[in-house]
Amino acid sequence: MLLKVENLQAKIDEKQILKGLNLEVKAGEVHAIMGPNGAGKSTLASVLAGRDDYEVTAGTVDFDGEDLLELAPDERARKGLFLAFQYPVEIPGVSNKLFMQTALNGVRAEQGLPPLDMFDFDEYAKDKIELLDMRADLLERSVNVGFSGGEKKRNDIFQMALLAPKLCILDETDSGLDIDALGLVANGINTLRSPDRGFIVVTHYQRLLNYIKPDHVHVLYNGQIIKSGGFELVHELEEFGYDGIVQKHEQAQ
Amino acid sequence: MSKKINRKVSPMAQQAVDHYIEQSLLLNAAFPNDKVIAGRQRAQVLFAEQAFPTLRDEDWQYTKLTGFVQNRFESLGKHSLKLDDLHTFLPPYAVTKIVFVDGWFSEELSDDLSVLPNGVSFESTRDVFEVPGATDQLFGREDLINKTPFGVLNSLLMADGYYLQISANTLLETPIFVLYIQSLDNQMATVRNHVVLEENAEMTLVERFVSLSADESFKGCANVVTEMDIAKSARMKQIVVQEQNHSSYYFNNQFIFQDDQSTFNTFYTGLGSLISRHQNHLFMNGEHIENRQNSACFGRGQQTMDSRTNTQHNQVWGKSQQLHKYVLDDSAVGVFNGMIRVDRLAQKTDGQMDNKNLLLSAKAKVDCKPQLEIYADDVKCSHGSATGQIDQDQIFYLQARGILRAKAIEMITQSFLMEPAEDITNGNIRQWIMATLADQLNAKDSL
């Protein structure tokens, strides 16, 4: 088991957002987490990545045999957890190269591998830049500064490709993407699919899911997963909307 | 410019005034030149009347001199430095080296200046004193210089400095590197410089202020006035690195006069001294002038980092750009004051001034005052000032990629402070400055 979330509860500013969430992800699987606005989708992604605005009040998260909640955000990343941000952050003055070389060498140190110098790094980064169709001068530019929304999302997927994590969490990576950028992002994700890697794709819409065909689909509502299924659940949502599924759930209770 | 106010001079300040007037008399006796003595005497009248600025002076309300006034710096110390003492202060690229020790030009420690390229002439100010008639070039702008309190003190104690002239169409490729080193305890280095670039000349001037000892029981004071005349189409690049030890003082007033189509790019970095104040008085007296004034200051401990610009657009089509950044830790104080004044003749002016500050501790503070005075109607001017702490989202973003929190903070702080240095066009100098800034930032935790 790559990730096992049990009864996860979390709050922010005294507001309870996650109310007992359970989720299991095996290596090689792609899970989609869908849900209406305010259901707790981004909170789940943030809590897993270790953002300290959120307080975990109950539950456990096991990540590849370790207690994830005990690890600092940088330790989680070094051990192979990756969050693609809903809003990737601009960092003026820090070049993508310095950023990614520092990050990659941190991950490599964790794996007992020697650091890459700038020439090895350039070589390693080259085909990933092409995969995401990034600007040729990407590495020299400041992190996300002057990037369009779509370029920022692609840059996050580029970082994911570089760091080759075990578990990729994509937090509404599809929001705000035009059809061309969506295709590039989906292609990037599909290229990274592998038997040793798991994905959690958090999204409000089915658009991205049509490209990447998740193995499992979960509907998150009011801080809990209320329905799980296969890819066919995406079509059910398309037909009935969140309201339909939420109503059925509430009637059943 | 200080406003005349009715002063009550404290007994402490009065003693200091008396002390510095006495120092000027000692200088008069040691270097008897009638014109220089007359200049010191004119300054003495002003200084006796005005004494030192206090917090009641609008231009000094954030830069507290009470500690400074308790010092009794001397002017006539005699050093015994060897070339070997200088190695750590020299930059890792080819320069023509000029060395001032405690304010005095040192011929032994400087490069052989008799072999400067054609079209470049250098004289120490003290030598200029000896040339009959030549002293006029030192006093032409005395009234302007004496409008600033430390300009008056400079005129009072004027001792040495340099006169550097680049003749028309001369392109000086090797940067001139001027090292000002404080070697003796309790010395005031009073330096009066004048740089003249004739038509279509070009040069790069790098000036570095250091203390021989980092020991805080050792203190010095540098008080510099530099005039620069940049003639038509001439191009002047200047880098000033201020790294004196943390008990010393630094005051620098630069008066820059630009003619048609000339360019002036200056970068100041303030890293050292207990109190430092770097000030550009920039007069854009021709058409199609361009200039850039950037600064990067990092203060920690009890340091006060004061940097200010006064940019006067006096003719059409002038373009001025500025980026001033401060990083302040511990109880450090940053002061930024920038004035852009656009004369009614200066249509089509483009003046941009930006100031950004990063506070690393709850006790650090910054006082900033960007000002615009515009008397022309067809201009493009902007100023901005922003102060904040490190963005937590930026730290988390780097952490989420596996970068340690401390390293993330270091990367963000460094990149913030280095941005003004990105406009330095000479790659060797830019890298040297960036390495210097990185060293200072990384040294902060070891103190």
Task: Pull the structure tokens for residue A15.
Answer: 């507001």
Nearest to A169 by CA among A41, A10, A70: A41
Intervals of chain B under pLDDT 70: 1-7, 133-135, 444-447
- How do residues A129-159 score in pLDDT, each as one tens digit? 988 888 888 888 999 999 998 899 999 999 9
Give me the pLDDT at residue A250, please: 87
**Is A159 in the B-facing interface, judged by CB distances under 8 Å?**
yes
Chain A, residues 179-238, CB within 8 A of chain B, namely none
Residues 6+ positions from B293 with CB-CB distance below 8 Å: B266, B268, B280, B282, B309, B311, B320, B321, B322, B324
Residue A117 burial (C-beta neighbours within 10 Å; 0-12, 13-18, 19+): exposed
- For residue A219, what pLDDT band results from cuts at 50, 70 and 90? very high
pLDDT computed for residue A125 by the predictor: 93
Contact B416 A92 (CB under 8 A): yes
CB contact at 8 A, B282 and B312: yes
Percentage of residues in chain A with pLDDT exceeding 70?
A: 100
Confidence label for A244 from pLDDT (cuts 50, 70 and 90): confident
Give A4→chain B minimum CA distance, Å. Answer: 20
The structure tokens listed for B33 are 């030149």
Output phi, psi for A141, to 5 deg.
-80, 160
- What letter would DSSP give residue B272? -
Collect all residues with Cβ–Cβ distance below 8 Å to A65 and sequence separation of at least 6: none
For residue B150, give the nearest of B255, B28, B305 by alpha carbon. B255
The domain defined by A3-252 folds into Rossmann fold (3.40.50)
State chain A's mean pLDDT as an integer.
94
Identity of the residue numbered A30: V
Predicted confidence at residue B445, as pLDDT, reads: 54
Q: For residue B399, which of A198, A12, A89 has the smallest C-alpha distance?
A: A89
Place of tokens 């515009």: B374
Among chain B residues, the shortest Cα distance to A94 is held by: B415
Q: What is the mean pLDDT of residues A114-126?
A: 93
Q: A162 Cβ partners below 8 Å, 6+ apart?
A: A100, A103, A104, A124, A125, A128
Helix, strand and coil in chain B, % to nearest 5? 30, 35, 35
- Do the Cβ atoms of A89 and B411 come within 8 Å? no
What amino acid is encoded at B292 in this protein?
R
Query: Is B195 within 8 Å of B167 (Cβ atoms)?
Result: no
DSSP class of B74: B
Helix then strand then coil, in percent of chain A rounded to 5, is 40, 30, 30
Extended strands (E) in B271-328: 275-284, 290-299, 304-313, 319-328
- Dmax (CA) for chain A in angstroms is 61
pLDDT beyond 70 at A191: yes
Tens of pLDDT, residues B320-358: 999 999 999 999 999 999 999 999 999 999 999 999 999
Q: Choose among B397, B408, B415: nearest Cβ to A92.
A: B415
Which residue of chain A is at minimal alpha-carbon distance from B391? Answer: A91
B400/A83 CB distance under 8 A: yes
Distances from the Cα of B402 to the Cα of A48, A77, B25, B221, angstroms: 14, 5, 64, 46
Of A163, A99, A78, A84, the residue nearest A128 (C-alpha)? A163
What's the one-letter identity of residue B385? S
CA distances from A19 to A33, A99, A169 (A): 16, 36, 20
Put simply, the answer to whether B411 touches A85 (Cβ < 8 Å) is no
Note the pLDDT of residue B6. 56
Task: Quote the DSSP letter at residue B286.
Answer: S
Distance CA B24, CA B22 (A): 5
- Asked if A34 and A220 touch (Cβ cutoff 8 Å), the reply is yes
Q: How far apart are CA B442 and CA B447, in angstroms?
A: 10
- CB spacing of B402 vs A163 below 8 angstroms: yes
CB-defined contacts A:B, below 8 A:
75
- First-to-last CA distance in chain A? 30
Record: contact B416-A93, CB cut-off 8 A: yes
* Beta-ladder partners of B235: B202, B263
User: Is the CA virtual torsion B4, B6, B11, B12 positive or negative?
Assistant: negative
Distance from CA of A215 to the nearest CA of B (A): 26
Q: What whole-number distance in Å separates Cα of residue B237 and Cα of residue B425?
A: 9
Q: How far apart are CA A203 and CA A81, in angstroms?
A: 18
Mutate to test the interface with A, among B397, B418, B422 (most CBs of A within 10 A): B397
Specify whether the CB–CB gap between A27 and A168 falls below 8 A: no
- Segment A64-86, tens digit of pLDDT: 999 999 999 999 999 999 999 99
> Residue B37 region, left (φ>0) first, then alpha (ψ -120 to 50), else beta?
alpha
Residue whose entry in the numeric block shows the structure tokens 């001032």: B100
Integer Cα distance of B220 and B245 in angstroms:
9
Residues of B in contact with A157 (CB under 8 A): none
Contact B398 A100 (CB under 8 A): no
- Residue B178 host element (H or E): strand B176-182
Q: How far apart are CA B297 and CA B202, in angstroms?
A: 27
Say which residue the tokens 């920690």 belong to: B300
Q: In chain A, what are the domain boundaries?
A: 3-252
Give DSSP secondary structure letters for B130-154.
HSTTTTHHHHTTHHHHTTSHHHHHH
The pLDDT, as a whole number, for residue B1 is: 44
Residue A242 CA to residue A253 CA, distance in Å, equals 17
Distance in Å, alpha carbon of A103 to nearest chain B alpha carbon: 5
Contacts of B421 in chain A (CB under 8 A): none
Provide the pLDDT for residue B80: 83
Residues 56-75 of A with CB under 8 A from B: 72-74
Q: CA B257, B258, B259: angle at the middle one, nearest 5?
A: 130
Contact B412 A94 (CB under 8 A): yes
Q: For chain A, what is the total number of helices (H) and then of strands (E)?
A: 8, 12
Determine the Cα–Cα distance for residues A196 and A166; give it in Å rounded to an integer: 7
Q: In angstroms, what separates the C-alpha of A245 from chain B's closest C-alpha?
A: 34
> Does A98 lie at the interface with B, CB-CB under 8 angstroms?
yes
Do B402 and A50 lie within an 8 Å CB cutoff? Answer: no
